[in-house]
Amino acid sequence: MIKFIIKRLLALIPVLVGVSLLVFFILDLAPGDPAKAALGEQARPEDIEAFREEMGLNDPFIVRYVNYMLGLCQGDLGTSYKTRDPVGEEVWARLPNTA
């Protein structure tokens, strides 16, 4: 029984990586610019460019995905574009109400 559970947990790893890659790719194709959404339509172009550089949005897709996965493996869910707070803290703050 333990062997079966371990085997299933190991099989779960490529599924989770595949799903995260698919979702990351779909969000990358979504219309709109996260920098403009976070800063508003009245933001100056240099502010938008600085935000994109700060958040790593100018990096190629694969670099952003690898950085995201490396952070995720360390427990870092990233930074919210809107509030610029760590996503992990926002999730934990809302978890009791969700549960």
Write the pLDDT tens digit of every residue in 38-79.
898 899 999 999 999 999 999 999 999 999 999 999 999 999
Structure tokens belonging to residue 63: 């670099």
Separation of alpha carbons 48 and 28, rounded Å: 17
Kindly report, residue by residue over 18-43, the tens digit of the pLDDT: 999 999 999 999 998 889 988 988 99
Cβ 25 vs Cβ 61: under 8 Å: yes
